[in-house]
Amino acid sequence: MKVTAIAGAIGGGLLGALIWGFVAHWTGYEIGYVAWAVGGLVGFGAFLLGGGGSTTGAACAVIALLGILGGKALAVNLQMSSGLAELHEKLLSDSRDYTASSRDERIAFMVSHGYTDAKSPRDVSNEEVEWFTTEMAPILEELRRDQTPYTTWSSTERGAAYYGSLRGNVSIWSAIASGFAPIDIIFALLGVSTAFKLGSVRREEEAGAPLGGSPEAGGDAAPSVP
């Protein structure tokens, strides 16, 4: 098993994972057959850099699986970041409407802007009011003053804590597992299988000349058998 072949496989896996993640981000869909392409890139990368043999093929299969999972993880992260950016736009819009100075005004704002499932101010619980007052009101007041965009506010202490808590409530691996439909599993298996097969193939120049040489290669021809 050549180190260069493994390096080629890893390079193909990284490229495939990036393609998967960004295709899912741009299209809004995770296209299952991209997993097959990831496996093809892994195996082809190993083949180009001198792959060959079942050991290299097995390593390519593992790298392909990691590349597929990595691509799914990247897609989830990009979608999550996109969702948080959209949430920030809502917060900015809400902050421009937020002028509440009393408990009753805060409750009315919570109902009208969706910070509670209650349909009427009288149905809002004390726990919800306490949460809004301590957690959301300071955020809305800060954003109302500065109208800071997502990329800037998410790097501030309050913004990082808020969005970090939202990210912490989402398990990346649970999202990956729930996102694997049966057809995705089939394409993932095809990708792993393709990586194994391509990684196992030995390039002709690496395999060496046939026994006895050949006139075209400059060797002596094998003696004929009478």
The C-alpha atoms of residue 143 and residue 167 are separated, in whole angstroms, by 20
What was the pLDDT predicted at 208? Answer: 53
What was the pLDDT predicted at 225? Answer: 42
The C-alpha atoms of residue 163 and residue 153 are separated, in whole angstroms, by 10
Q: What is the DSSP letter of 202?
A: P
Q: Count the neighbouring beta carbons within 10 Å of the beta carbon of residue 216.
A: 7
What was the pLDDT predicted at 204? Answer: 59
- For the chain, give every domain's residue range: 3-205
What was the pLDDT predicted at 216? Answer: 43
- Helices and strands: H and E segment counts in the chain: 11, 0
In the chain (226 residues long), the average pLDDT of successive 10-residue segments reads: 89 92 77 86 92 90 93 83 88 92 92 93 93 93 90 86 77 66 85 93 60 43 43
The C-alpha atoms of residue 154 and residue 121 are separated, in whole angstroms, by 31
